[in-house]
Structures are given as structure tokens and as C-alpha cells.
Amino acid sequence: MRKKIFILGVGEAKHVGGQLRKAAEKLDLDFRFMDVREAGQGNRLLAKLVWKLAKRPIQLTRFSRNVLAYVEQDRPKMVLTTGMGPLDCSSLKKIGSMGVRTVNFSTDDPWNPAHRADWFLKALPYYGAVFSTRRANLEEFRDAGVREVEFLPFGYDPDLYFPDASGSEEPKVFLAGGGDVDRYPLVKALKEDNIALSLWGGYWERAGLKSSGFLDAAGIRHEAAKCMVSLVVVRRANRDGSAMRSFEIPACGGCCVVEDTKEHREMFGPDGEAVLYFRTPIELVSRVREAFTNPELRSKLRMNVHKLITARPNTYADRLKKMIKWAEGREEKDKK
């Protein structure tokens, strides 16, 4: 049966919003999508100033009213926002009063000082449910007044992330991600041990590290296949236990050396079965050297981690179905 839902997110394929839009298409859902970047449109300098001073999209009120108008017109079963979805308290309250389920898929920690915004925290109690990609803030969502909170990790798009049969391996470590301060010691430790790097992403130059730029999905597939080791790290400032790359790199069949977290342990199982774990820069260098010198181990890890992630319901279509199931369950519960 076709379901009418409303998705708000960043529409680019590399973002979760774009992934959920594609998932809705693949599931043949009756849906509307709005790109949340519309909430930040306007005078560029003024928009930057408003964001800097209040962490608030300059068109928050107008965007919220536009969403409300579409909801009144469409009467969807569910409104799904991603990240810090730009919907204010008033609009969320009115949407809820129409019997429409409101869900936030929280992909960034809203209590991270880099993201914290009062307008979003005030809006949280008006969501019917929050699905968070991290366990660390579940209780904070409940304390903020959210009625139902559930852990739901990132996923992957199987059309974009799959093994790339592109020739022989090279003794390099592949890392694609932002140059967060807590990641600098890891990369520097590899360089100091003369381990070659395939480093991609922004802000690495702040630590004097050279990035090769940014990668699309095809580039990630290629590097995960070409490099003997793919490094999977989390964002500590976000209190992450896993990340988008925790799913995308394994789906590509990368030989993964993974930051040791509770969520990663739950995903990948014992050390040496599907991945190698590390906690410190010294451990990282040791695990990379271990993988470099053991082709049988690399082959085993590549095969096992790919099977582990792809054999389970880890696609964004699976994530979307879970959130829709929640909305339908609440609808049935209210009818009784």
C-alpha cells in the first residue's frame, strides 16, 4: 500500500536526506521532499550572522510555515526531519494536532557545542519520536521531553556502495572524513611510522596534513579496494559510536581497521573476525602493520565485513521502513 510521507533534509545523494528520498522512491512511496537548505536562503552575509549568533536558519519561520501549508494540503501519515530539521515549535505543534506523526532522525548530536541551537532544543518535545544514530544522547532526548526515543544507526545505499574490482592492493591506509582535532594524532602516528596514506576530506591542513580533496561514492569504492587498509573512525565531539563510513566502507568490502566503540563491537563482533579494532595511535599503527603483512587476513576481513553489513537490514530503505512502522503503530494504537 502506498504511504504518504513528508521528508525534510539536504537533497544531495551524499547526505542522509538525499538517501532517504531515494529510499522512498525505491519503496514506491507516495511522498513529498523539501530541501532544508531553503531555510538558509537569503542575504548571504545576514544569513551567516544569524547562524553565528543564534545557530538559527535565517528563514526558519518562513520555511516552517511553508511546511505547515503543505501538510495541511497533503495530510501525510508522517513528517520526517533529518538532523536539526528547521521546524519551529508552533508548526510542529499544529502538525501534531492534525494527527500527523512527527519524527526526527537525529544524525548530529544537538548538545555538541558546534551544533547546539536553542530553537531546536525547544522544538524537541513536539516530536512524536526521535531516532538517534548515537546511544550516548538517548537519555538527554528523554530529559528534553521527547516521548519516544530509539537508537537507529546510519545506513548505506547499495546502489552506491559495493565492492570495486579494480586491480591489486597498495600498502596504503585510506581515510575519508573531516579533519577533526581528535583525529590528528592518529594520522600523524601513521605518517611518523612511514605508512602511506590516501587521505581525503576537509580541515586536515590545520594540522599540516595534506588532503587529496573530496570523494564521491565511486571514489570511496575505488580507494577501499585499492588500499590495503581502510580506517573507520567516529566523531568524538558528536559522541558517536559509529558513523556513515561504518556502513559504507564495509559495504564496499574494505579491509577495515576500526575505532573501538560499543556500537562498533555490536556491529562487527570479535576482534579479527570482520575488522581489527584500535583505541590509541600506537594500537592503530600496530593493527595496520598486522594487516599489511598478512594477505590472508585482509582477504578474510574484506569478505566477512561485507557479508556482515550487507546481509542485515542496514540500507536507508530499511531505516525508512522502521520509522514508517513506528508511525503506523502509533496510528493504530490511537484508534483503539
Q: Within this chain, do residues 297 and 319 fall inside the same structural domain, yes or no?
A: no
Residue 160 falls inside a structural domain? no
Burial of 119 (0-12, 13-18, 19+ CB in 10 A): middle
By percentage, how much of the chain surpasses pLDDT 90?
A: 88
Residue 163 falls inside a structural domain? no
By percentage, how much of the chain surpasses pLDDT 70?
A: 99
pLDDT of residue 1: 42
Q: Is 130 helix (H, G, I), strand (E, B) or coil?
A: strand
pLDDT of residue 43: 83
Write the pLDDT tens digit of every residue in 201-220: 999 999 999 999 999 999 99
Write the pLDDT tens digit of every residue in 158-179: 999 999 987 789 999 999 999 9
> Own/partner pairs for 65-73, CB < 8 Å, 24+ apart?
65/91, 66/34, 66/38, 67/6, 67/8, 67/34, 67/91, 67/95, 68/94, 68/95, 70/6, 70/32, 70/34, 71/6, 71/95, 71/98, 71/100, 72/98
Joined grid coordinates for residue 243: 558513523
**Between 40 and 333, residue with greater pLDDT:** 40
Q: Within this chain, do residues 140 and 16 fall inside the same structural domain, yes or no?
A: yes
Write the pLDDT tens digit of every residue in 132-142: 999 999 999 99
Count CB neighbours of 313 within 10 A.
10
Question: Residue 331's pLDDT band (boundaries 50, 70, 90)?
Answer: confident
The pLDDT mean for the chain works out to: 94
Q: Within this chain, do residues 292 and 324 fall inside the same structural domain, yes or no?
A: no
pLDDT of residue 336: 62
Angstrom distance (rounded) from CA 201 to CA 252: 19
Q: Within this chain, do residues 240 and 261 fall inside the same structural domain, yes or no?
A: yes
DSSP state of 165: -
Residue 301 falls inside a structural domain? yes
**113 φ, ψ (degrees, to nearest 5):** -55, -30
Write the pLDDT tens digit of every residue in 38-83: 998 888 888 888 888 778 899 999 999 999 999 999 999 999 999 9
> What is the average per-residue pLDDT within 264-276?
98
Single out the residue of 204, 318, 202 nearest to residue 251, CA to CA: 318
Q: Within this chain, do residues 148 and 234 fall inside the same structural domain, yes or no?
A: no
Q: Are residues 270 and 276 in contact, defined by beta-carbon separation less than 8 angstroms?
A: no
Inform me whether the pLDDT recorded for 289 exceeds 60.
Answer: yes
CA distances (Å), 193 to each of 153, 204, 212, in order? 34, 18, 20
Q: Within this chain, do residues 227 and 275 fall inside the same structural domain, yes or no?
A: yes
Q: Within this chain, do residues 320 and 300 fall inside the same structural domain, yes or no?
A: no
Q: Are residues 61 and 87 in contact, defined by beta-carbon separation less than 8 angstroms?
A: no
Residue 274 falls inside a structural domain? yes
Residue 208 falls inside a structural domain? yes
Inform me whether the pLDDT recorded for 92 exceeds 70.
Answer: yes
Q: Within this chain, do residues 127 and 184 fall inside the same structural domain, yes or no?
A: no
Overall number of domains in the chain? 2
CATH number of 29's domain:
3.40.50.2000
Q: Are residues 18 and 216 in contact, defined by beta-carbon separation less than 8 angstroms?
A: no
pLDDT of residue 53: 78
pLDDT of residue 3: 64
Q: Note down the domain range covering 279.
A: 170-310
Q: Within this chain, do residues 40 and 57 fall inside the same structural domain, yes or no?
A: yes
Residue 162 falls inside a structural domain? no
Look up cell 512527527; give the residue: 102
What is the pTM for the complete model shown? 0.94
Residue 164 falls inside a structural domain? no
Q: Within this chain, do residues 151 and 195 fall inside the same structural domain, yes or no?
A: no
Q: Within this chain, do residues 300 and 328 fall inside the same structural domain, yes or no?
A: no
Inform me whether the pLDDT recorded for 2 exceeds 60.
Answer: no
Inform me whether the pLDDT recorded for 320 exceeds 50.
Answer: yes
Q: Within this chain, do residues 32 and 70 fall inside the same structural domain, yes or no?
A: yes
Residue 161 falls inside a structural domain? no
Write the pLDDT tens digit of every residue in 292-309: 999 999 999 999 999 999
